[in-house]
Amino acid sequence: MRKLCAVLIFLILCAPLNVYAFIPLNAPSAVLMDQATGTVLFAQNEHERMYPAGLTKMLTALVVLDYLDPQQVVVVGNEIYNIPRGALMAGHQVGEHITVHNLLRGLMIRNGNDSGAILAVQTAQAQRGRGNIPYVNVMEIFSRMMNAYARELGAYNTNFVNPNGLHHDDHYTTAYDLALISRAFMAHPLLGEIAGEVDFIGNSLYGFEGTLPDGLEIGDVRTIEHSWVDTNELISGGPFHFNYASGIRSGSTPQASDCVAAAAERDGVRLIAVVLDSPDPGRWQDARVLFDYGFSTYSYHPILERGQHIDTVVIANAMLGEYDTLDVLAGEGFEALLSQAQLGRLEREIVFYEDFIYVAEMDEYEDVINQDDEPIYDEIRFRVPIYDGIRFRAPIEMNEALGAVIYTLDGRVLFEGEIRAAFSIEERSLDSDMDFYIALVLGTIFSMRALPFWLGGAGVLLGIAGVYWGFSERRRSRNYWSNSRGR
């Protein structure tokens, strides 16, 4: 029994520490991310390779809008026949004239695989600058574009081979990568708007305000009436409706099972939740649990305000009679999405630029002595300044950047911003010293404080004058009497 307890204790101590709270989920892989900063608030096997199913379409939409205008009208071709039978379709027809905007709606609201094929063909042709590209080549071109875009987002564990998410062994990603893609998707104004649309009812040119291609008239184009309803139960009003949900996309294949990438916003906090391989209703339950955890645990805290006092530094060579200390202020503000526990662990560090640090002359230093009261002489003679703290050197201009303030949480940098001088400090010089002493003398002589000295001096002068007058009168009197006797 003792051996068993010892083994259990050893395993507990050696097990890796999970920095996230325990949240019971159906999904084997999930992540909760702050949409504004990309900070991961919860993760479970977030870097495990998974199949994304229809969540692929978020990256498809991002790539498309790098090359196509939403108001561009395209003509549907035979590419829709390359979609396997049984896959979800938006119902496009060959020869249909439709805007890129509405194709994106078919892609995201209906989860239309045919919409994805049409968009991929048009994007590949725009990228290559020519038409009539075989569909198999389109898939290669568009997949490379998708994977390059994923790398730009930091999604390094993603490899897509088609724009739809139809199963392929080499078509994979991770929950973390999908959260990064979801974040970029929601940051795009048009896609963020489409993400929250529960349905679409209208024809192919609904909302069109551009110019038709090849000089066509409205009467010459072929349009189709579409009716699409989003299957994302977090926003569609079903039993798992979440009041704060704002999108994005659900997906399902036999290999990927049921999954969802969802966005929600409450009280200014915007979150992204990705749930993979969680059979219905697990994906909806998991997404709601993640959102409830995020909104109840995290909130934005104002950490630093622009212009806030950071520190006060001593100026070693300030002009006589002027300020010899300088206030250092924050150059920009900072707020962070943190739990109360994280707020307590937040650490601040101030780093000053070396150019402003005052280097003392040798006579301002004292030797470091050892226990025998003898100076230490090794390869280097160690010296330390006799003053406490860091001193700055002038001149310093008002609002000049003096260094940085850094906030870290558990060793991870959350914010680094410049700190600036609150006012200007001039450098001390011989001329400034002379000006100071002259002003000091003149100011002292002609000030009210000098009045007693002036009165005292006047009294002394009057006394001297009186004594002199007395001696003069006595001498004159003596001379008078001497002259009188001589007569």
Residues 224-259 have pLDDT tens digits of 999 999 989 999 878 999 999 999 999 999 999 999
Long-range contacts of 255-258 (CB under 8 A, 24+ apart): 255/51, 255/167, 256/50, 256/51, 256/52, 256/53, 256/165, 256/167, 258/282, 258/283
What are 100-152's pLDDT values in tens digits?
A: 999 999 999 999 999 999 999 999 999 999 988 999 999 999 999 999 999 99
* pLDDT > 80? residue 459: no
Cα 367 from Cα 370, distance rounded (Å) = 10
Residue 430: pLDDT band with limits 50, 70, 90:
confident
pLDDT of the residue at 451: 56
pLDDT of the residue at 14: 38
pLDDT of the residue at 458: 65
Cα 389 from Cα 350, distance rounded (Å) = 13
Task: Please state the domain extents for the chain.
Answer: 19-297, 303-430
303-430 shares the fold of 19-297: no
What are 195-208's pLDDT values in tens digits?
A: 999 999 999 999 99
Phi and psi torsions of 333, nearest 5°:
-90, 170
Overall fold of domain 19-297:
Beta-lactamase (3.40.710)
Phi and psi torsions of 284, nearest 5°:
-70, -40
Long-range contacts of 86-91 (CB under 8 A, 24+ apart): 87/113, 87/164, 87/166, 88/54, 88/112, 88/113, 89/113, 89/114, 90/114, 90/115, 90/226, 90/228, 91/224, 91/226
* pLDDT > 50? residue 423: yes
* pLDDT > 50? residue 334: yes
pLDDT of the residue at 363: 42
Torsion, Cα of 186, 191, 195, 199 (10° steps): 170
The rounded percent of the chain whose pLDDT value lies above 70 is 81
Residue 396: pLDDT band with limits 50, 70, 90:
confident
pLDDT of the residue at 455: 61
Residue 468: pLDDT band with limits 50, 70, 90:
confident
What are 354-386's pLDDT values in tens digits?
A: 888 876 544 444 444 444 444 433 333 333 333
Residue 265: pLDDT band with limits 50, 70, 90:
very high
CA distances from 37 to 150, 182, 323 (A): 18, 13, 41
Comparison of pLDDT for 275 and 453, the residue scoring more:
275
Residue 15: pLDDT band with limits 50, 70, 90:
very low
Query: CATH 1.10.10.10: does it fit domain 303-430?
Result: no
What is the overall mean pLDDT for the chain?
85
Cα 251 from Cα 111, distance rounded (Å) = 8
Q: What is the mean pLDDT of residues 313-325?
A: 82
